[in-house]
Amino acid sequence: MDCSTIAAGLIAVNCAKSSIPGTGSKVYLLSYAEINRILSTVTENVISAIIMVATKKGYVFETLDNSVDGDTALVKGTYYSDFDQSLMLRVFSKTQAAKTFVESLKLARVVAIVQNKETGTAGEITYEAYGWDSGLELMEMKSSTLMADKVAFELKLGSGAKAKETSLPKSVFITSITATETMLAGLIA
């Protein structure tokens, strides 16, 4: 079987409007093991329903605009290629609550839903899920008493050594940005 065909063409530029770089201030963090994948809905790399296991909820990491950096890189294999996804979270407040949060990520595996500045035509790419297939782990943590740029903790979440992603970060979108944000709010309630 040949999996090496492409399915569509692409107009890769919009001369009237360039894409907007950067991220918003919110990242929704969900424990990977607490997502009910059977009841959640993913169609063509768009997540339209996220259902948590009974009694479980997600959490919001809220920070400054543009201080979250998401990266995706191709991992070329002999037979299949996958993606390494990583997310840099910056904490600007050195408090006991911040230290507890950092410690809680040490052994966690999470899905991170990032708010982009670019929205697409109807809000369909405002939110993207990093780590949906395999989860993200805390790969690096840096902290310095110098607190350059006022960063108290710099946390790099990423795909594990053997747990890569099958696609680019999946879009999180229902039918409108309002419906999508209502679903996300329900994940943390």
C-alpha 162/C-alpha 57 separation (Å) is 27
Structure-block tokens of residue 21: 């770089």
- Provide block-wise average pLDDT over 10 residues at a time, the chain (189 residues): 70 78 94 97 97 96 96 93 96 96 95 96 95 97 93 96 94 96 94
Write the burial class of residue 96 (CB in 10 Å: 0-12 exposed, 13-18 middle, 19+ buried): exposed
Three-state DSSP at 96 gives: helix
Q: How far is CA 7 from CA 3, 4, 10, 52, 120, in A?
A: 11, 10, 10, 33, 21
Q: What is the pLDDT of residue 1?
A: 60
Q: What is the pLDDT of residue 3?
A: 67
Q: What is the pLDDT of residue 67?
A: 96
Q: What is the pLDDT of residue 59?
A: 97
C-alpha 82/C-alpha 80 separation (Å) is 7
**Distance of alpha carbon 79 from the chain centroid:** 26
**Distance of alpha carbon 28 from the chain centroid:** 8
Nearest Cα to Cα of residue 91 among 153, 23, 13: 153
Q: What is the pLDDT of residue 80?
A: 87
Q: What is the pLDDT of residue 2?
A: 64
